[in-house]
Chains A and B, each alone.
Chain A
Amino acid sequence: MSSPGPNREATALADEAIRPVGQFRRAAPGLLSLERVEAAVSAVRRSAGSIALWAVLAALLVVPIGAFLVQAVSPRLVGLGGPWFTLDNLAHALSGPTLRGLVDSLAVSSVTAVLCVAIGGSLAWGVHRTDLPGRRVWPVLVWALLLVPTFLTAEGWQYLLQPQGVLAQFGIDASGIYAVFFGPVGVVFVLTMSALPFAYVVVAASLLYLGPEFEEAARVHGAGPWQAIRIVIPILGPGLLSAGAIVFAETMSDFGVASTLAASAHFPVATYELFQAINNNPADFGLAAAVGWLLVASAAIPIAVQARALRGRTYAVASGRTRQATRIRLSPATRLVAFGATATLFSLALGAPLIGAFVASLLSGFGSEISVGAVTLDNYRAVLLGDTGLAQPLVFSTIMATLAAVVTIALGLPVARLLTNRSAGRVAKATDLVLLGSVALPGIVLAAGYIFAYNLPVFGAVGLNLYETAPLLVMGYVATALPGQTRLMVGPFSQLQDSLAHAARVHGSSALATWRRVMIPMLSRVLLWAAMLTFAKTLLELPVSQLLYPPGSPPVSVAINAYVAGYHYDVGTAMTVVALAEEFIVIVGALVLFALLAPRGWRRAIGPGT
């Protein structure tokens, strides 16, 4: 040893221990060598998961919606007769009542977007940046608002305002308000109240990333608190625009108000025209799909506006470590006014329609023109205990919603994992694209696509007759819920460092056991919330239910609408109240059970919005 090091023994040992191995020449592989075949087989085996996932996504989203939309321009391509390419359906859709519906929808959505951004944005500002009283309560109510479907809000207001309505029963003449409400104004009003949460959530998120430095800089250089706000609003521009875009897309695709208030006020909107095209006998799928195209295309409008407004400007404000902004102290008078305004807002958005439905449900013979009823529980007795089969829709919807929640979570987990897997590359991008596209897809287009695609002769030929069955309904619910729920899960998923799963694998846990013992426990709170949301949204879901329910088994939303349409307000309202109560009980019950029963460590898991 010529080493000058002090520890010759260790050196010698290491010399022995580590020997460089000569460079190995790689054998030149033959054109179809065994290695190549093996490599191909192993590549397929490795992507088996992604392939299965894509098969499911294809059955749920890509194939039915694709086939439906394609037949508008090329009925022959999907095995129907007719030309290879035609624009007749689009031309038809851009004329007559469907054109009017589309114009109405665009107008309603634009106004609603502006109103929602103004109101929801102010609310987010008040809750996150001022000492507005009740700022812990309002976000909870925003979530509650998200859970009440639009058709219930619309109907709740109708119970209150209509002639012989709740107000009339108490001797209050609301006919003036009703005349204004029963039409475009009411449609915009109800949609604004319902879509508020979307604007609120988006603006609140951008406020969270907007550190206090811009406000502080403005204040330091002499601006008062209100002037400072005016400085910051343009910086929030991208957030406000995307809030507007989301509200616009939500409103364009709404079916709840379209099929209740708008329909009975003879104010046609696009989604209801699409429904009509399918509901007519014979159904006009070509026209329905053309309207579907236009609805999907309309989502491009706010995106284009956004892109144009932001062109060449950058608003990167998130700096990784953002400090908590200080809250603006409101003067006592301002506090009072702000509190009053917020309380009024939620009374109108949530309180009035729910009270309308609740009071109506307690009045005997409500809605009939002859009697002013006494307070009674008969309606509830009829819904819950009667042998009239009224409880059956509730039971059916509960089962469907439970199944939809379970399947959505089971599918959402691997999809979210795929989307956050940095090495997944193009597959992840394509999946992301499909899901993102489906978020903006109106439920009514999806449901129409299901009817069309799963009636195609191909499926009958292989013995797959899914149309008008409960499984297809569940599939429709899952397809509606999955895109949104995966987006909800992706955030927490990306917070999970890959190394946590790697650590489990390295220390002897199989892939499946790693899911069971590490991933799912760590995500348990997110999964619980996602399941609860899916359950609640599905329980009272309207467009898919309306188009896909098996004959004789109407889901609760369809049943409520049928009773209301048939002037059986008494039972309809009672059923509404019971369904909402069930939503509430299930959510609160699940949260309580989780708190009581989940292992101690699970409660430390990543929660939604952390």
Chain B
Amino acid sequence: MGSAANAGGAGLARAPRVVIQDATKQFGSKVALDGVSVEVTPGSFLVLLGPSGSGKTTLLRGLAGIERLTSGRIAIGDRVMDDGGRTHVAPEHRNLSMVFQDYSLWPHLTAVENVAFALKRLQLPKTEVQPRAQGLLDRVGLGGLGDRYPNQLSGGEQQRVALARALVANTGLLLFDEPLSNLDANLREELRIEISTLAREAGATSVYITHDQGEAFALGDAVGVLQRGRLVQYGTPEDVYYRPVNPFVARFTGLAGELDGEAEPGGAGPEAHAARVRLTSVEGAPVVGAASALGRSGTGRGKVLIRHTAARISAADASGSTIRGRVTDVAFRGRGYDHAIELVGEGRLVGVHDERRWSRGDHVGMSLDGTGCFFFPDDKVADDALT
């Protein structure tokens, strides 16, 4: 287990362990990063997920050495890189590479020169530089475009050059600053797969930041969610998706809707946390089965947060359907249809998937799968408005 299993490729890089302890960064009176601690074992892929202003960019720039911490510590491998501003190792001495959101290719250098630039640090003989840079361009599928200048390349091609530049020197640590956010949707998926494969082939430790939960879940061995400068949850993608620690994390990673509910304390013993939750605002006050977040969050009145995948549509009179509603919108998504459903009583669910098309105005039944429903009491919901 650990890094060895992960480094599927030739294991070229000496992937370092990254340890961030209590990292804090203030800009004037504004706290951008508030005591974040995380450890990344060699060769793993960490995605930091958060909205703008959550501190993820500051954390990544701190790791790169572009920003200095106000306090806290960053160590890469066995070397302390930043120690609350007392020690600060320059970016060029941290043996890392980075893919930038705006590509940041140097406009006065051709694609192959841009890649070769990152090889200077290895002080290779001149005859090796060009073939190696060209080889990386081949690997990202741009073999024929080495002579082009950045402004002669499309956005996707530029980002591939940037990826080649980050990979060429086999630095142990790869940083990704929202590299896909400026690209079209179909290109994004294509390049995401390439980043995922190439980074793992290189055997490097990777830290990737994004505000897109789909990207985070698809890429990361683990995901860290940042909220207002704090790391509020770490874990596997599945952990974050099925066991969000607070309403913010649940909302930020995608919900079909939120319904009023009331949790009842369960019995004693190991099942104590598996309380029952009654949906109070919809007709018939049905009970949701073992809602994932129960017990962690207490009892009483609150909200049930529902994942898209937890809601299923059936005919209005089908057995097993616990709540009923009316279809107000339907969107063809290729692999099926997303529906918006106005519930009988109060509440609305959106993005409810089904393979068949239900028509606008149809009366339908619905069932909720407890593993995708999270109950949070009212006080917690109020503190955690999505920011």
A592 beta carbon closer than 8 Å to chain B: no
Q: Given that A13-B1, A39-B85, A601-B149 are known contacts, is A522 also in contact with B108, CB under 8 Å in the complex?
A: yes
Q: Which B residues are in CB contact (< 8 Å) with A77?
A: none
A511 interface neighbour in B90, B110, B236, Cβ under 8 Å: B90
Q: Which of A3, A18, A26, A509 sits near B120, CB closer than 8 Å?
A: A509
- Chain A residues with CB under 8 A of B238: 3-7, 11
Closest to B221 in A: A14
Q: With A506-B91, A507-B169, A509-B120 known to touch, is A16 a contact of B106 (CB < 8 Å)?
A: no
Would you call B40 an interface residue if the criterion is a C-beta within 8 Å of the partner chain's C-beta atoms? yes
Q: Scan B20-61; emit 1 where CB is below 8 A from any A CB, else 0.
A: 111000000000000101111101101000000000000000
A499 to B91, CA, bound (A): 13
Contact A3 B236 (CB under 8 A): yes
Tell me if B104 counts as interface (CB < 8 A to partner A).
Answer: yes
**Chain B residues whose CB sits within 8 angstroms of the CB of A601 once the complex forms:** 107-110, 113, 149
Residues of B within 8 A of A24 (CB): 21-22, 37, 72-73
Question: Which of A10, A513, A518 gathers the greatest number of chain B CB atoms within 10 Å?
Answer: A10
The answer on a CB contact under 8 Å between B91 and A502 is yes
B294 CB, nearest partner CB in chain A, Å: 14
Query: Which of the listed residues A14, A22, A517, A522 has the most CB atoms from chain B within 10 Å of its own CB?
Result: A14
CB distance from B26 to the nearest CB of A (A): 13
* Cβ contacts under 8 Å, B299 to chain A: none
Known A-B contacts A17-B44, A21-B21; the reply to A506 vs B96 at CB < 8 A is: yes
Residues of A within 8 A of B21 (CB): 21, 24
Q: Name the residue of chain A whose CB is nearest to the CB of B94.
A: A506
Look across to chain B and name the residue whose beta carbon is closest to the beta carbon of A520: B108
B2 CB contacts on chain A under 8 angstroms: 13, 16-17
Contacting pair A12 B90 (CB below 8 A): no
Q: Chain B residues with Cβ under 8 A from A18's Cβ? A: 38-41, 44, 46, 221-222, 224, 234-235
B181 on the A face (CB < 8 A)? no
Majority secondary structure of chain B interface residues (helix, strand, loop or mixed): mixed
B98 contacts which of A4, A7, A503, A521 (Cβ < 8 Å)? A503
Q: Given A18-B234, A24-B21, A35-B86, does the pair A602, B39 have CB atoms closer than 8 Å?
A: no
B160 CB-CB contact with A under 8 Å: no
* Chain A residues, Cβ within 8 Å of B66: 502, 505-506
Given known A17-B6, A22-B37, contact A38–B86 (CB-CB < 8 A): yes
Chain A neighbourhood of B220, CB < 8 A = 14
Give the Cβ gap from A455 to chain B, nearest Cβ, in Å.
44
Q: In the bound complex, do residue A510 and residue B90 qualify as a contact, i.e. CB atoms below 8 Å apart?
A: yes
Taking the closest CB of chain B, its distance from the CB of A502, in whole angstroms, is 5
Q: How far is the CB of A587 from chain B (nearest CB, A)?
A: 23
Contact B64 A14 (CB under 8 A): no
Q: B84 contacts which chain A residues (CB < 8 A)?
A: 35, 39
Q: Mark B82-118, 1 if CB is under 8 A from A, else 0.
A: 0011101011101011101110111111100100011
Q: Does B385 belong to the interface (CB within 8 Å)? A: no
Task: Assess whether A15 is interfacial by the CB under 8 Å rule.
Answer: yes
Cβ of A171 within 8 Å of any chain B Cβ, yes or no, is no
- Residues on A with beta carbons closer than 8 Å to the beta carbon of B40: 17-18
Among A5, A510, A518, A604, which residue has its beta carbon within 8 angstroms of that of B242? Answer: A5
- Is B312 close to A, CB under 8 A? no
Chain A residues contacting B106 (CB-CB under 8 Å) are: 500, 503-504, 518, 521-522
- Given known pairs A500-B104, A502-B64, A601-B108, the reply for A42 and B41 (CB within 8 Å) is no
Closest chain A residue, CB of each to CB of B71: A26
Count A interface residues, CB 8 Å: 49
Residues of chain B lying within 8 A (CB to CB) of residue A511: 90
Which secondary structure dominates chain A's binding surface? Answer: helix
Asked if B237 is an interface residue, CB under 8 A from chain A, the answer is: yes
Residues of A within 8 A of B20 (CB): 21
Look across to chain A and name the residue whose beta carbon is closest to the beta carbon of B64: A506
Is A604 within 8 A of B151, CB to CB? yes
CB within 8 Å of B: which of A484-517?
A: 497, 499-500, 502-511, 513, 517
Q: Which residues of B contact A505 (CB under 8 A)?
A: 65-66, 90-92
Expressed in whole angstroms, the Cα–Cα distance for A517 and B43 within the complex equals: 32
B85 partner residues in chain A, CB cutoff 8 A: 39, 42
| Residue A23, interface by CB 8 Å | yes
Pairwise interchain contact B221-A10, C-beta atoms closer than 8 A: yes
Give chain A residues whose Cβ lies under 8 Å from the Cβ of B321: none
Cα–Cα, bound, A17→B40 (Å): 6
State whether A42 touches B86 (Cβ < 8 A). Answer: yes
Closest-by-CB residue of B relative to A12 is B1
Are B117 and A517 in contact, CB atoms less than 8 angstroms apart?
A: yes
| CB interface residues, A 5-48, toward B, < 8 Å | 5-7, 10-24, 26, 35, 38-39, 42
A605 part of interface (Cβ distance < 8 Å): yes
Query: A506 — which chain B residues lie within 8 A by C-beta?
Result: 64-66, 91-92, 94, 96-98, 175
Distance from B216 Cβ to chain A, minimum over Cβ atoms (Å): 12
- A507–B121 touching, CB < 8 Å: yes
> Which chain B residue lies CB-closest to A40?
B86
B185 within 8 A of A: no
Say whether B22 contacts A5, CB under 8 Å: no
Contact of A3 among B88, B169, B242 (CB under 8 A): B242
Whole-angstrom distance between the alpha carbons of A497 and B236 in the complex?
Answer: 35
B120 CB contacts on chain A under 8 angstroms: 508-509, 513
Which residues of chain A are near B151, meaning CB under 8 Å?
604
Q: A503-B104, A521-B106 are in contact. List 9 more A-B contacts (CB 8 A).
A: A13-B1, A15-B236, A504-B106, A505-B65, A507-B98, A507-B118, A507-B166, A518-B106, A604-B151
Which 6 interchain pairs have the tightest Cβ spacing? A5-B238, A508-B121, A601-B108, A17-B44, A505-B91, A18-B222
Could you pull out 28 A-B pairs where Cβ atoms are within 8 angstroms?
A4-B371, A12-B1, A14-B220, A16-B2, A18-B221, A18-B224, A21-B20, A21-B21, A21-B39, A23-B22, A35-B84, A39-B86, A499-B100, A499-B102, A500-B104, A502-B64, A502-B66, A503-B98, A503-B104, A504-B117, A505-B65, A505-B91, A506-B91, A506-B92, A507-B97, A524-B108, A601-B109, A604-B107
Give me the interface of A with B, judged by CB distance under 8 Å: 3-7, 10-24, 26, 35, 38-39, 42, 497, 499-500, 502-511, 513, 517-518, 521-522, 524, 599, 601-602, 604-605
Please give the residue numbers on chain B whose beta carbons come within 8 Å of chain A beta carbons, in ascending order.
1-3, 5-6, 19-22, 35, 37-41, 43-44, 46, 64-66, 71-73, 84-86, 88, 90-92, 94, 96-98, 100-102, 104-110, 113, 117-118, 120-121, 149, 151, 165-166, 169, 175, 220-222, 224, 231, 234-239, 241-242, 371
